A and B are shown apart, each in its own frame.
Chain A
Amino acid sequence: MKEISLHILDIVQNSISAKASIIKLIVLESTIENKLIVIIEDDGKGMDKEFLKTVSDPFITTRTTRKVGLGISLLKASAERCQGNFMIDSEIGIGTKVKASFQYDHIDRAPLGNMAETIVSIILSLGENTELIYFHRYNHQEFTFDTREIKKILGNEVSIFQSEVVDWIKDYVKEGLKNLYGGVEN
């Protein structure tokens, strides 16, 4: 994928398919430690240990339309190409956790990319009762976005999927991240 944010969008689709009610997305950027870490954790239906062992194999997939499932293997390859690590852990009935780390200044590291667009796309993919908690840290600056907070302000009658709300969210995340990087768009 051209951007790490596209990998994120892709992996979160897995959490949604697993019927998660809470999806935690954590992005940690540290120029000091020269690391970029992405963690996607869900409380979906999880996988048994046998399936978990082979899940990074592109020819192992739960989908029925094709014999190939590339999401996890592409992210794994992206991370390892950048002297990074990839880890996936899961437990049936508990959830799944995916963690990918990249060497920040590696020449082959794709840019993080348009996170605001990815967050908006994720929100439009969520079910009625699925929440997204997004935490992003860049060195010492932090940004948080929590759909539960948004829903609290909107109340029961106004949907988070409404186009004006989604538009607001896009700008809110864009601005929040701009402030993370000290007012410079990454």
Chain B
Amino acid sequence: MKSLKELEEIRKNTLENINLRKGREGYRIIVGMATCGIAAGARPVLTTIMEEINKLDLKDVTVAQTGCIGACRLEPMVEVYSPDGNKVTYIKMDAEKAKAMVESHIKNNKVIDEYTMTVIDGKVIDPVTK
């Protein structure tokens, strides 16, 4: 049974650890949530990302949404900003890829190149899938 008491527990635990988290800049994950994204399956991508962050107990990761990025056929899209300011754009994501991305990129700092957007001569080339 979910209770508000559990929420109080979460609050207590967070406060106890709060000094460990202060002042650290982490990854920012932005999921496209416009009509195109939602229709293409952005919601399970977002919830899977949150689940994985929880499961892997990753701290200092911010998850947010954005509107239409303009490349609707590439949705669902996920932008990952690393602490040093670099941006990686993942395209045509699904729950499975999102799970792999969090473990590889956010946890182990290893970008999954096959899932990202490649721009050659100003044209967006779909990722190479094996």
Contact = CB atoms under 8 A, between A and B. Distances in A.
Given A117-B43, A125-B33, A158 B67 contact: no
B7 interface: yes
A21 interface: no
A157 B13 CA distance: 12
A160 B52 CA distance: 17
A96 to B, nearest CB: 16
B114 to A, nearest CB: 26
A155 B11 contact: yes
Contacts of A155: 11
A121 B43 contact: yes
A150 interface: yes
B64 A9 contact: no
Interface residues of B, number: 37
Contacts, number: 100
A121 B70 CA distance: 21
Contacts of B70: 65-66
Contacts of B7: 150, 153-154, 165, 168
Nearest to B1: A175
A164 B34 contact: no
Contacts of B38: 1, 6, 9-10, 13
Given A10-B38, A71-B35, A157 B15 contact: yes
The size class of the interface chain A forms with chain B is 35 or more
Contacts of A74: 35
A163 B39 CA distance: 25
Contact of B50 (A70, A71, A124, A171): A124
A124 B65 contact: yes
Interface string B33-68: 111101100011011001101100010011111011
B35 A10 contact: yes
Given A10-B34, A163-B61, 19 more contacts: A1-B38, A6-B38, A63-B68, A65-B67, A65-B68, A65-B70, A66-B70, A117-B44, A118-B43, A120-B46, A121-B47, A124-B64, A124-B65, A150-B7, A157-B18, A158-B14, A161-B62, A162-B14, A171-B2
